[in-house]
Amino acid sequence: MNYEKNLSIGKVLLGILTTSIFVFLVIPTILAVPMSFTETRYLAFPPEGFSMQWHQQFFTDRRWIEPTIFSLKLASITTVVCLVIGTMASLALVRGVLPGKRVLHLFFLSPMMVPLIVTAFAVYGMFANFRLIGTLTGMVVAHTIIGVPYAILVITANLYRFDTTLELAARNLGASAFKTFMHVTFPLIKPGIIAAGVFCFIESLDELVLVLFLIGTTKLTLPLRMFSEIEFRITPTVAAASTVFIIAAIGTIIALSFIERKEKKIGLKE
Amino acid sequence: MTRTPFFRCLWIHLLIGLFVVTLAPMSGLDNALAERDHIVVQTWGGKLGEAQQKAFFDPFAAETGIKVIGVEAGVSVGGKLAAMQRSNNIEWDITTGEYQSYNQKYYDNGFFTEIDYSVVTDTQNLVAGSTQKWGVAQYLEGVCLVYNTKVFPEGRQPKSYADFFDVEKFPGPRAMHNWGGPSDNLAIALMADGVAPDDVMPIDFDRAFKMMDKIKPHVKVWYTSGAQLVQALLDEEVVMAISTDGRAKSAISMGAPIKIVWNQSFYYLAYNTVVKNSPMTAAAMKLLNFCNRPEQQAVFTQVIGYTGANKKAVQYLPESLQKEQSTHPANIDRVFNFMMIKNAEWAVDNIEMIDEKWNSWIAR
Amino acid sequence: MKLFERESINHYSMLQSLLLAGPLLLLLGIFYLYPLLSLFPESLMKEGHFSWEHYQHFFREPLYPFILLRTIRIAVYVTVICFLLGYPVAYFLANIRRQQLATLLMICVLLPFFTSILVRSYAWIVIFQTKGLINNLLISLGLIENPLSILYTETAVIIGMVHIMMPFMILPIYSVLKNLDRNLLRAARNLGASAAKAFIKVTFPLSLPGVGAGVMFTFILSLGFFITPALLGGPKTLMISTLIEQQINRLLNWDFAGAISVVLLLTTIVVVAIFDKIVGLDKIYKE
């Protein structure tokens, strides 16, 4: 048939385009890996010599380990809180009745639009009043404020194009609102939630400005550590840290895909 | 729950686990408002912070029993100081490493306490300009011309700022800073045009920008961080640069083929200050006095390379390092304190106007 | 009372909506809105009394509107490029059958994300610099004689920013496309529409919420960006966020900085509203 042929040419072009984009996405990241094994004390490409010292330093130096653990803890908790609060708010925005919905929607998204330095400067006093400066809780609150816009933006997009007949069916069959959400809605917007979760996690992990103001005097986060390291020289330890994260990320994604495949086997996905 | 797959249970367990983990750290509160018994010093982190810890904080703690912790916070210092005063939540007791123009501004905005010179007494050997109302200088940060020795071999070497601006005789890409406080760039432009250092202020903008226009197309790297400069020198991205002596020495130690020109070199003083309303003011003053000790300053220099403000500190350094210090008798008359040229306060008083003019020029 | 009524069994009454949105409202209200409302009025004051001075300063001095427009321009370039490149990728990802390939490609999309921004920017420096990868490649292939000066130009900044923003464009579109009802597409094809027409008339409009989210992300985040422009570009790519940062940290003018932020915020809202209107997203939101 005529349109079959167009289909394959189109598909080939699409394939070529997307492959080149994938390569574009991956190259700078992949550069970080060999750079972390260089013998020199500065970033060099191609790397000169081979040395594990930067990786060693990253894993053994307390001044790298502590910030890393703190950052991971902070990011994980922030992500969970953002997803829960964000999903609830998204549901209210898309399916609920609220006074001044458009304005409210913009308001929820506004932390993304106000320059971080201004936000940090403004909220410092309030955080000090609540004794939140220098605490994990305080940082979670701060990162949630700027993370929720990410969650809302993605999840509302998923909810707008949502086929509600499945939900209606479940409710008509007697399921409670909560159960319907957990077993019907939630699985269907999962791609959105996972995307939102990734954004929140990374945003917290990479965040520097709010941390500068609110971290207090005894703790450090990973980006803060990297930044002061970079002030004086660009050491390969930073590249080593990145390499570690890359490997961890790849591992997590592969693990998640295995779990998803298991779900498919059990027959829950079509 | 018999039909619920393993995965869904896992989610719930993860959620519960994470919430438990959240509650646990609540006990580790770091309350800045509580009475503290240690001094908190804002440092610029990295190797500089290490040097200060080794040369000053640890020995001070050993001698007096008062613990000193350094906080890596070289970014957003002004904003943080302002935020702290606004909410009366003073996290830092001392700030370090900042130049006079910024410190003056901070002091005028009420961020610093006046130095108690009845406690900070060992100041007689400090370089001129070290003792200010709001701070005591701890080290010098020099500004100098550097060039690539491979591109400019013996006999064809640039020797002055005029050479830096001479693109016919010394062609090639250059680097200059764009990290704020552009009055020294403009001053260098004027000096290259033959103006004596003492006649540079107030800046003749037309004359200065005319010189800068000549060189603008040749400035490849407008560096905003020291590391960026060092990387550019290492990668040989530029053949000449206006650099700080610390970064130049750092690049040289990492193998960059560059040489420092001492002619017309000047320096800034980096000061220690005491934050207003700090609960540890008295102890802070003692620490500031401790930082004046020449032996300690020598330790500092050996770690990070910057020259200490105490002229006697040079004597405590090994022979090989002595000649490189601005305070070495051989060098001390060749270099000058930028803030001590005539009318230097003009630059401080007009910092916003200079910034705006510079930004407008450079952004086009 | 309207409080307890709901549109249908699937929707929430006002009470339920308030309860759902409550936590966020509370959090933002106390820790965000109130502090900002204590700061922004200072932009309308000069030396204790009401004054438009700061806003006047912004518009009077050509530097500031110039930088604002440049920031918007760069953000628009980045958004458009990300959209043109990102949509095909999202489409491709959403339609792959083979699980392993999908996982691998997803890794490719997320990989840059997991690399710290500082490291990524330095990787681009390595690629773009005079003796960097691109120049070495082109010279060794004999395509050019002298090395290209890519680093410290606007081009480098745009490429660097596109690289960082791509996942923000790809993932929202992907998540919406993944959930599309295939039957709608099949129906269109069975009714005789060509592949292209089916896409234009059915798939694309249905993916609009994802597109809207992706565009918003990319545009808004690009406006606030300053790390990558600082490292990869020169002063020619001075962005408005850098100016604001200078005002707060170096010049200690938080009132002027507040004014600039308000102008930026209002501009963002206006641009976003115009975009919504043009693309027709506001009809979707009305639902």
Q: Dump pLDDT digits (tens) for A165-188.
A: 777 787 778 777 777 777 778 887
Which of A95, A146, A156 is the best residue to mutate to test the C interface, defined by the most C CB atoms within 10 Å of its own CB? A95
* Helix spans in B254-332 (H): 281-290, 294-304, 319-322
Whether the CB-CB separation of C239 and C67 falls below 8 Å is answered with yes
**Residue A98 scores a pLDDT above 70:** yes
For residue B4, the model assigns a pLDDT of: 41
Report the residue from B18, B82, B89 with minimal CB separation from A76. B18
Nearest-CA residue of chain B relative to A255? B7
**Residues of B contacting chain C (CB within 8 angstroms):** 75-79, 82, 102, 105-106, 109, 178, 180-181, 220-222, 224, 228, 231, 235-237, 351-352, 355-356, 359-360, 362-364
* Min Cα–Cα distance to chain B from C250, Å: 6
Say which CATH topology domain B39-140+269-335 has.
D-Maltodextrin-Binding Protein; domain 2 (3.40.190)
| CB within 8 Å of chain C, chain A residues 44-103 | 45, 85-86, 88-89, 91-99, 102
* Strand (E) or helix (H) holding B39: strand B39-43
* Cβ pair A30, A192 in contact under 8 A: no
Model confidence at B361: pLDDT above 90: yes
Residue A38: the pLDDT is 79
Instruction: Give the least confident one: A116-125, A242-251, C243-252.
Output: A242-251
CB-based contact B230 A77, cutoff 8 Å: no
C-alpha distance from C117 to closest chain A C-alpha (Å):
7
pLDDT(B110) > 50: yes
B3-48 per-position pLDDT tens digit: 344 444 445 555 555 555 554 444 334 444 456 889 999 998 778 8
The DSSP call for residue B68 is: E
- In this prediction, residue B42 carries a pLDDT of 94
Domains of chain A by start residue, with CATH: 67-234 (1.10.3720.10)
Q: Are B216 and B209 in contact (CB under 8 A)?
A: no
Angle at C107 between CA C104 and CA C111, to 5 degrees: 150
Alpha-carbon distance A219 to A228, whole Å?
Answer: 14
pLDDT tens-place string over residues B52-94: 999 999 999 999 999 999 998 877 889 999 999 999 999 999 9
Closest chain B residue to the Cα of C63, Cα to Cα: B360
Contact C175, C210 (CB under 8 A): yes
> Across the interface, which of C23, C174, C223 has its CB nearest the CB of A85?
C23
Q: Report the alpha-carbon distance of residue C110 to residue C104 in Å, rounded.
A: 10
Q: Are A90 and C230 in contact (CB under 8 A)?
A: no
pLDDT along chain C (287 residues), means of 10: 68 83 91 91 81 88 91 94 93 83 84 80 81 82 79 87 92 87 80 80 86 92 84 81 87 88 92 80 57
For residue B285, is pLDDT > 90?
A: yes
More confident residue, A228 or A155: A155
Q: Which residue has the tokens 């410290």?
A: C152
Portion 24-53 of B in contact with A at CB < 8 A: 25-26, 28-33, 40, 44-49
Tokens representing B99 are 């130049």
B188 and B219 Cβ atoms separated by less than 8 Å: no
pLDDT by residue (tens digit) across B297-348?
999 998 888 899 999 998 899 888 887 787 888 777 788 889 888 888 898 8
pLDDT (0 to 100) of residue A231: 63
Percent of residues, chain B, with pLDDT higher than 70: 90
Identify the pLDDT of residue A119: 93
User: What residues of chain B lie within 8 A of the CB of C253, using their CB?
Assistant: 352
Domain layout of chain B by residue ranges:
39-140+269-335, 142-266+340-363
CB C118 within 8 A of CB A227: yes
Of the candidates B236, C31, C74, the residue with the CA atom closest to the CA atom of residue A214: C31
Residues in CB range of C37: below 8 A, 6 or more apart? none
- ipTM exceeding the 0.90 mark: no
Count interface pairs B-C at CB distance under 8 A: 72
- CB C40 within 8 Å of CB C28: no
pLDDT value for A48: 76
> C220 or A264: which carries more pLDDT confidence?
C220
| Separation between Cα atoms, residue A159 and residue A90, nearest integer Å | 8
Q: Is the pLDDT of residue A23 over 80?
A: yes
Q: How many residues in chain A?
A: 270
What DSSP line would sit under C81-121, residue for residue?
HHHHHHHHHHHHHHT---HHHHHHHHHHHHHHHHS-HHHHH
**CA atoms A202, A207, A210, A211: torsion sign:** positive
Q: Which helix (H) or strand (E) holds B219?
A: strand B219-223
Amino acid at B46: G
The CATH number corresponding to B142-266+340-363 among 3.40.50.720, 3.30.360.10, 3.30.830.10, 3.40.190.10 equals 3.40.190.10
Q: Which of C11, C28, C175 sits opposite A191 (nearest CB)?
A: C175
Nearest chain B Cα distance for residue C252, angstroms: 7
Q: Which CATH superfamily is domain C58-285 in?
A: MetI-like (1.10.3720.10)
A228-232, B128-132, B179-183: segment of lowest average pLDDT: A228-232
Q: Poorest-confidence range of A129-143, B139-153, C196-210?
A: C196-210
Task: Kindly list the partner chains of chain C, i.e. chains with 3 or more CB atom pairs below 8 Å.
Answer: A, B
CATH topology of B39-140+269-335 equal to that of B142-266+340-363? yes
- The CA-based angle A79-A80-A82, given to 5 degrees, is 65
pLDDT of residue B143 exceeding 80, the answer is yes
The SS3 call for residue B225 is coil
For residue A27, give the amino acid letter: I
> Is this structure's pTM higher than 0.90?
no
pLDDT > 50? residue A9: yes
What pLDDT is attached to residue A263?
66
- Please answer yes or no on whether C152 and B220 come within 8 Å at the CB atom: yes
Q: What would the pLDDT profile of B229-282 be if each residue is shown by its tens digit?
A: 888 898 888 999 999 988 898 888 888 999 999 889 999 999 999 999 999 999
